[in-house]
A = this chain, B = another copy of it.
């Protein structure tokens, strides 16, 4: 199931560890503080516990939410880069 992870982390060191963990689980870095990718239930739980451990008691917020196919179909996305505008 597609899973979205978004975070607000104060310390660079902790934020980088969160980023590395999301990459290790094969998620794509879709925005500065957001990753998305396919994770089954077990992998999602594993990643959540890893993120939770990394954050510990450091100031920050993490939200992980699975996105069902219907929600994804209703999603809207725009990306504007130097190459132009891409609507999805």
Contact = CB atoms under 8 A, between A and B. Distances in A.
Interface string A1-42: 000101110000000000000000000001111100000000
Given A6-B31, A31-B33, A33-B32, A66 B71 contact: yes
Interface residues on A, range: 35 or more
A32 to B, nearest CB: 5
Contacts of A52: 78, 87
Tell me how many chains of this kind the complex includes.
2
B30 A61 contact: yes
A52 B32 CA distance: 19
B60 A34 contact: no
Given A32-B33, A76-B48, A4 B59 contact: no
